[in-house]
Amino acid sequence: MDKTITLLAGDGIGPEIVKAGKEVLEAIANRFGHQFTFQEAHIGGAALDATGEPLPEETIERCKNADACLLGAVGGPKWDGNPPHLRPEKGLLAIRQILNLYANLRPVQVLDALVDESTLKKNVIQGVDVLIVRELTGGIYFGTPRERRQIDGEEGVIDTLVYKKEEIERILHRAFQFAQLRGRHVTSVDKANVLESSRMWRECATEIAQQYPDVTLEHMLVDNAAMQLIRNPKQFDVLVTENLFGDILSDEASMITGSLGMLPSASLNSTSFGLYEPVHGSAPELAGLNEANPLATISSTAMLLRYSFKMSEEADCVEQAIRTVLNKGYRTADLAHNQATTCSTSEMTAAVINEINVAIHS
Ligand code: IPM
Ligand code: MG
């Protein structure tokens, strides 16, 4: 198959990990007889430096004319003092909105080789496999007005949480559909005891659940969900929630696996197009050191193959290669707490590619 992939390296460790992802995709193309064409585009701080904007028009075009995008990370101290519309993060938020990438999938899986990496007890986390489905283009991230203003004659501020019913319904449908392919259980997380938006969310979830009789639905308040994720993460199969709650709970859930350096994500629209990125940030302190863990990005390429290209055998091959190199003892610094030797970004990537090249697919 011929496919075009836009690479958005971004800032900090972004270029190193996206390079790792590209090399893995090339190895897959080579092995399975596909033709992948790569095109690069600026986003975030790198785009600000090159063009003065966090998301230049050319980047939007290159994303729109691709079959999928692979992104590294955005942000860094260099741009922290910038006004809101000139922050690197603005580029990421804008591309999500412009491409209508409303469905954000953040799988949290504890791999056997890493079960001792977590700060949580082994018996609590062994076998955890949760899919967080985060609404990504609505809620308080995007509502207006959002500004500093005088309130009753005093200095104040306002952010606005907005959801259209249809935006809530479409993400809930996606969650139920993913649950049908997995453990058939949806936990819908909200704050229905306080927020009107959450009360609508809960009504929608209850109504939509009737169309998926093979899936069980449970409602959970977000504060309780934060606690349950640590107490007993194995109770979750698919966890679906709105934008801000999903942002917070996915960082929390990442610690079940021991390292934020392991978690991939997919941001999908209603077609097969998607933007894939590691959940972690740009780690400016590691930039250029060849020390960053490339596995979250490599794992994101597996999601890209699976969801945008419908190449499940190829995706399985990448995921198996990751498991194999971890079983063989390869560890980047973030994962190497119990080990004397660590490998670099490029060594880890080469090890994964080596497995892809030798793996025998049946
Ligand atoms: C994430 C990040 C982003 C978000 C930031 C960088 C804007 O934290 O993808 O989770 O809040 O969505
Ligand atoms: Mg986040």
User: Residue 273 to residues 67, 99, 277, 291: CA-CA distances in angstroms?
Assistant: 6, 9, 14, 31
Q: Could you say which of 3.60.20.10, 3.40.30.10, 3.40.718.10, 3.40.50.2300 is the CATH number of the domain covering 118-257? A: 3.40.718.10
pLDDT higher than threshold 60 for residue 336: yes
pLDDT higher than threshold 50 for residue 177: yes
Q: Would you give the DSSP letter of residue 361?
A: P
The closest of 355, 354, 348, 318 to 330, measured between CA atoms, is 348
Q: What is the mean pLDDT of residues 15-36?
A: 98
Q: With a 6 A CB cut-off, is 252 part of the ligand 1 pocket?
A: no
Exactly one of 80, 223, 310, 328 is catalytic; which is it? Answer: 223
Exactly one of 102, 141, 276, 307 is catalytic; which is it? Answer: 141
Interval 93-121: pLDDT, tens: 999 999 999 999 999 999 999 998 889 99
Helix (H, G, I), strand (E, B) or coil at 79: helix
Which residues contact residue 96 at a Cβ distance below 8 angstroms, ignoring those fewer than 6 apart?
Answer: 136, 137, 267, 275
Interval 118-137: pLDDT, tens: 899 999 999 999 999 999 99
Residue 128, CB half-sphere, CA atoms under 13 Å: how many?
33
pTM score of the predicted model: 0.95
Domain boundaries defined on the chain: 1-106+261-362, 118-257
Tokens of 265: 């994500």
Ligand nearest to the CA of 96: 1
Q: Under CATH, which architecture does the 1-106+261-362 domain have?
A: 3-Layer(aba) Sandwich (3.40)
User: Residue 349 to residues 18, 113, 228, 339: CA-CA distances in angstroms?
Assistant: 11, 17, 35, 19
Provide the pLDDT for residue 312.
Answer: 97
Query: How much of the chain exceeds pLDDT 90, in percent?
Result: 93
